[in-house]
Structure 1
Amino acid sequence: MSQFQVVLRCFFISLSLLSWFPVALGAANSLIQIKDFGLNPTNVTFYLYVPSKLQAKPPILVNPHWCHGDASDCFKGTQLATLADTYGYLMIFPDSPNTADKCWDVSSNATLTHNGGGDSLGIVSMVKYTLAKYNADPTRVFSMGTSSGAMMTNVLLGSYPDIFAAGSAWAGVAFGCFAGNGYDVWSNACATGTINRTGSEWKAIVEAADPGYSGFRPKMQVFHGTADTTLNPQNLQEEIKEWTAVLELPSTPVKTLVDYYEKGWTTYIYGDSFQATSAAGVTHNIQTNETVVLDWFDLTCSGSKCYSRPS
């Protein structure tokens, strides 16, 4: 695929996503741009949403945007910022430095390596800044994204399992699927669903991101439409194989829920730390269900008994 075809494809993805997402009405405040926040080798731009009333030790939700979108589009794209005003969590809206197509770097060796650089390190620096500045809860840091943002969510959980407590990825691909030792590499093989690996092979790729790490692994939920022609639905199966292996869960679901979370969606439960949802007839423009995201991250909870990673 030529660079022109990649840009054109991402352009149409962007248009369709922007026409699908509702406008975030009612957010009490505007985004704040933070310019000096630590290591940022690729110059990712940092926008922060701070609700008027924060929890005493607020959680952090990172929300990377989709291709050809930006932080402002993502801020307006769901009701998550408005809900932050109700529940008192902080939101980080990173903005891709890639002017060609605004897709995230989910392919370079740097971004796929713990403390290796790339866009992922810049985003983690935003998290560390926010933790210190707002006395936020380091055990309750989450990432949620759609399309390229879902790919980055997979990358963040794979490269920085010491930072995140959970992820929610909507129409993305497995960690390492786009790997190409280059910045913003388009993998046609991954996009078309022809990269098929065993769970053990995927697990080895994730563990190679931080070979010395043996601690807690964040929980994950993944979603994919069966009519997605941009990122083939086979990518859901690859995410399932990857995260069940990494999290040491059964390779087959322990429970199957039909018409859940939406009518026509089937959700497969593999354990408390991983679930996968196949949305029948849904294209790449899968709509975020904010209630599902908040429930998975337990963001409506405050106090000492909320879901969190071990201290």
Structure 2
Amino acid sequence: MKRLTAWVAGVCTAVLCAALTAALPHQAAAATLTEVTGFGANPGNLRMHVYAPDNRPARPAIVLAMHGCGGSGPGLYSGSEFASLADRYGFVVVYPSASKKGNCFDSWSAESHVRGGGSDPVSLMSMITYTLERFGGDAGRVFVTGTSAGGMETNIMLGNYPDVFKAGAVFMGVPHSCFANEADYIPSPGASDCASGRVSRTPQQWGDLVRAAYPGYTGARPRVQLWHGTNDTLVYYATLQQQIDQWTNVFGLSQTPTSTDTPQANWNRRRYADSTGTVKVEAYGIQGAGHSLPSSGMAAAAIQFFGLTDSGPTSTPTPPTGACRVTYTPSTWNNGFTAAVTIANTGPADVNGWTLAWAWPGNQRITNAWNATATQQGAQVTARNAPYNATVAAGAAVTFGFQATYSGTNTAPAQFALNGTACSPAA
């Protein structure tokens, strides 16, 4: 079977990552992705980058965000929505870069499975400690998230350091201590027993692995949000249930959800609440999705789960609601069309870095784009700025285009969101 070169969508090439890193300054600066050296004990030989938005409170929350195999911290910064969400809600994002097995975070070694054992988790904790001190962070609002290898490491950090993290969001992960050793950590479809969901344990046994990471710990546990695509052929969908079994057992909850719903099309959510109604575990099965999460809107859902949307910065975010307008102009032929999309910034402040998201009402599918990078998962589309048109000045506009296919009726999207904020469609 053909070996995959990466475990996560959005990974940049080695040349691009090197170019990004080379362009970064080595001293901390607000609103700039900044590399930090000398951040503390670093047995995992990781690199650290930080994004601290200009608009943040005196004691900001901290989010540790980890890439997948083959990726980098700068790659996740440029290929995800966490930085734009940080601008909106005023938290600081730590982007580590892994160095093992083609840039994968270590979730397979015995050292990584226990608190203070060494390897990558200890390096990651050094980054958290540094960031709390450097930016005066709120130690009661530290969170962790990651995709694929980063999602696996998210479960590791939640189990090893439950007293540090308030909550975590895991995209395409596996349970804590799922890998028996490095030999099973194989980034190829079906090759790994753990990643293929073939490790058979009861909820109690899965839970015991978390409890063994910090023996004797009796304090509060971080809440957990889990995401997985039903068509993931690299880290199989079966691992989602294993993670549910693990964390519900850790919380002493039933494996039967207390509620189920579909908050968006193809997002099937199960929630597991305690006797007070507090949701401790939340699991999303994304219908039809492969190994490609998070897609549009999912990072925002994670930040909302963390509670960071309720206590953002006091000044007006950019862009505020209603401060943008989208003009969508399609040109249709038999089973195909092109479209020009103009984003007008009608607000008082510049938009620095933009992501435009929408959902198709039909079966439209984008085949290529210009002046933007467009990705599609099911009906959800995300278009991100090119390097040369990232800034949309107040009162100005930017236009990009794409080509797509369809069958039936080519109905225009009903609404758009710019950097997660609803945008008014032009009449």
- Scaled by the length of structure 2, the TM-score of the pair is 0.64
Q: Deviations over 1:222-263 (max 9, x none)?
A: 011111100111100100100000011121001111x32x31
Shift, 1:184, TM fit? 8.7
Instruction: Give the corresponding residue for 1:306.
Output: none
Shift, 1:53, TM fit? 2.1
Amino acid at match of 1:282: A
Amino acid at match of 1:161: P
Secondary structure of the residue aligned to 1:151 is helix
Instruction: Give the corresponding residue for 1:232.
Output: 236
**Contact 1:108–1:184, Cα closer than 8 Å, also in 2:** no
Select which of 204, 212, 215 maps to 1:200.
204
Instruction: Give the corresponding residue for 2:356.
Output: none
Secondary structure of the residue aligned to 2:285 is strand
Instruction: Give the corresponding residue for 1:277.
Output: 284
Q: Residue 88 in 1 paired to residue 90 in 2? A: yes
Instruction: Give the corresponding residue for 2:224.
Output: 220
Identity of aligned residues (%): 36
Amino acid at match of 2:62: I
**Contact 1:244–1:251, Cα closer than 8 Å, also in 2:** yes
Instruction: Give the corresponding residue for 1:177.
Output: 178
**Contact 2:10–2:76, Cα closer than 8 Å, also in 1:** no
Q: Deviations over 1:49-108 (max 9, x none)?
A: 11112212100000011110101110011121122122111000000022x411110011
Counterparts of 1:185 and 1:229, CA distance in 2: 15
Q: Residue 301 in 1 paired to residue 320 in 2? A: no
Select which of 51, 61, 68 maps to 2:53.
51
Instruction: Give the corresponding residue for 1:160.
Output: 161
Alignment of structure 1 residues 105-184 onto 2, 5 Å = 105-180=106-181, 182=182
Instruction: Give the corresponding residue for 1:103.
Output: 104
Counterparts of 2:85 and 2:284, CA distance in 1: 23
Select which of 253, 256, 260 maps to 1:256.
260
Larger radius of gyration: 2
**Contact 2:267–2:287, Cα closer than 8 Å, also in 1:** yes
Amino acid at match of 1:294: I
Counterparts of 1:34 and 1:17, CA distance in 2: 23
Amino acid at match of 1:120: P
Q: Which runs of 4+ in 1 moved over 4 A?
A: none
Counterparts of 1:179 and 1:125, CA distance in 2: 26
Counterparts of 1:294 and 1:221, CA distance in 2: 10
Amino acid at match of 2:204: S
Amino acid at match of 2:293: I
Counterparts of 2:215 and 2:267, CA distance in 1: 36
Shift, 1:12, TM fit? 4.6
Shift, 1:18, TM fit? 4.1
Counterparts of 1:207 and 1:66, CA distance in 2: 26
- Root-mean-square deviation (CA), in Å? 1.9
Instruction: Give the corresponding residue for 2:294.
Output: 287
- Scaled by the length of structure 1, the TM-score of the pair is 0.86
The 1:184/1:135 distance shift into structure 2, 3 A limit, reads farther
Q: Deviations over 1:127-184 (max 9, x none)?
A: 011111211111110011111111111111011111101000111111111231x499
Counterparts of 1:222 and 1:185, CA distance in 2: 21
**Contact 1:220–1:274, Cα closer than 8 Å, also in 2:** yes
Instruction: Give the corresponding residue for 2:250.
Output: 246
Counterparts of 2:208 and 2:105, CA distance in 1: 23
The worse-fitting range, judged by mean Cα deviation, of 278-287 and 230-239 is 278-287
Stretches of structure 2 lacking an aligned partner (at least 5 in a row): 13-29, 274-278, 313-427
User: If each structure's strand is expressed as a fraction of its own residues, which one has the higher value?
Assistant: 2
**Contact 1:67–1:104, Cα closer than 8 Å, also in 2:** yes
Q: Deviations over 1:196-219 (max 9, x none)?
A: 211110111111111121111000
Amino acid at match of 1:215: G
Question: Number of residues paired by the alignment?
Answer: 284
The 1:62/1:228 distance shift into structure 2, 3 A limit, reads same
Secondary structure of the residue aligned to 1:189 is coil
Shift, 1:32, TM fit? 1.1
**Contact 1:55–1:87, Cα closer than 8 Å, also in 2:** no
Q: Deviations over 1:98-125 (max 9, x none)?
A: 2x41111001111111011110110011
**Contact 1:105–1:184, Cα closer than 8 Å, also in 2:** no
User: If each structure's helix is expressed as a fraction of its own residues, which one has the higher value?
Assistant: 1
Amino acid at match of 1:208: A
Amino acid at match of 2:48: F
Secondary structure of the residue aligned to 1:250 is coil
**Contact 2:10–2:75, Cα closer than 8 Å, also in 1:** no
Stretches of structure 1 lacking an aligned partner (at least 5 in a row): 20-27, 304-311
